[in-house]
Structure 1
């Protein structure tokens, strides 16, 4: 009798088993996320009901953007804030943690993304908060904040200053959250917002020529003739972050001096600060 080899059967079983494992992983992952989101949503709803006044008073004290929202949008803002805060681990570096710190840092992210559908910046699991300027890597210049694959980094003294003086287009919270938003969509490719990405390319049709103009002036050591801070000429990533700071802190001046750039940012972020927030 001819002997039947068990090798093809074993190979087939392994292949089928592998298919089921892969299918199980991709099916289970959305289920796990759904169950996790349901759990967090119930926690957020309870926290919102119990502590709405605390969050409302705190944000009104620190964040003029929030203070200008109507009651419905305030509730939407705090709800998003709590979802964002629960999705992150906050680590305090040589700094005593205070309960308002994660709230206010989360508020900066929600302010930036308030007109977007994707606002959790899911790639980033950790946010590091230092007391003041810090050194990073081999750089000899101190940092106020930065974004890397390890997380979002912010210096608390500069963060507070950014919201205390909210009309000078210097806001490290908004600046670093702008970097985090770009990193999520164009580097990490996690929780990508395809509408935002499409609008970003549309934004760049207006923004790139302005950036090139600023770089030309910077290379020639000529005075900057735009409302944007000189730091915007460093590279296009910094240009984007500086645009965000200027959009939120000097919207009227930006619209008057650079109406096309203001319109492009308004379209990109789905917010018009000189009228009402869209949607």
Structure 2
């Protein structure tokens, strides 16, 4: 019993030192987070659900087998960590939870922390819903005050099913979550590390240049909603980073690289 207790104390101590000392120093030197993927108690996804992930997520399909296992682990932990609530009599199945969780994990896969502190509940409606926030019909919403993300399932699933049209509601809303998370005071404990915020600020500087905006608009690659404000711009370009990466890289290589740095996207995790 003493040995088990001592082992737990040592593990907790190592994790604490990693967060407080190792991670900040590593980020300062290499301008990216050090991501360690390990777990004491491995969890596995049913083969049927792995097939669903492979079918719906090109990102997941490209991962090496060991990284798919890490992805699975994170997805299951996310599902256990978040409260899912249905509205208007829609039944939330495990498959629905799986697809929602996987969208968030895809965005945070390059980060050490992946369980959001600014989201505790995900509400799912069958279709568009009336938002009391601004008295309008919405298909998605992030409310940081209530720590809630809300989805229209019809629109969420459409974003998953059509994975090359640069419209992905899940990525869009979870991008808002990541940006909000990055603004927390204790950034090293946040899901989105300081590099996310640094890259965001660099992109903001670019958005203040008229010639940069003109080039973005002239390309007709980004939909109009991207130019509402900087928050929406980040959400839109993250959608496009995952949905049409080759086109993005071809048209705007520098912006593509900043987005890649922002989420610590690691090509080494992908199968050749």
Partner of residue 18, structure 1 = none
The CA deviation at 1:226 is: 4.8
Pairing of 1:217-256 with structure 2 (within 5 A): 224-256=218-250
* Post-superposition CA distance 1:125-172 (Å, at most 9, x none): 111111111121263542111101221111111111101111111000
* Contact 1:270 1:277 (C-alpha < 8 Å) held by counterparts: no
Partner of residue 89, structure 1 = 83
| Higher mean C-alpha displacement, 198-207 vs 103-112 | 198-207
Pairing of 1:61-140 with structure 2 (within 5 A): 61-94=55-88, 95-137=90-132, 139=134
Partner of residue 262, structure 1 = 256
Distance 2:97 2:137 in 1: 23
Distance 1:214 1:172, change over 3 A: farther
- Of residues 169, 173, 176 in structure 1, which corresponds to 2:166? 169
Distance 1:144 1:200 in 2: 27
* Post-superposition CA distance 1:203-262 (Å, at most 9, x none): 432454236649976xxxx96545222111111111110111011111111111111100
The two structures, once aligned, show a CA RMSD in angstroms of 3.0
Distance 1:230 1:73 in 2: 36
Distance 2:192 2:170 in 1: 24
Partner of residue 144, structure 1 = 139
Aligned residues: 232
Distance 1:224 1:134 in 2: 34
- The runs of at least 4 aligned residues of structure 1 exceeding 3 Å deviation read 138-141, 187-195, 210-217, 222-226, 275-278
Q: TM-score, normalised by structure 1?
A: 0.73
Q: TM-score, normalised by structure 2?
A: 0.75
Greater length-normalized contact order (CA 8 Å, ≥ 6 residues apart): 2
User: Do residues 178 (structure 1) and 175 (structure 2) align?
Assistant: yes
* Post-superposition CA distance 1:5-55 (Å, at most 9, x none): xxxxxxxxxxxxxxxxxxxxxxxxx99xx9xxxxxx77x63x41xx44133
Distance 1:194 1:98 in 2: 26
Query: Which structure has the greater CA radius of gyration?
Result: 1
The CA deviation at 1:188 is: 8.0
The CA deviation at 1:198 is: 3.4
Distance 1:91 1:75, change over 3 A: same
Distance 1:98 1:264 in 2: 36
Distance 2:172 2:199 in 1: 21
For structure 1, which runs of at least 5 residues remain unmatched after alignment?
A: 1-29, 35-40
What SS does structure 2 have at the residue aligned with 1:135?
strand
What SS does structure 2 have at the residue aligned with 1:116?
coil
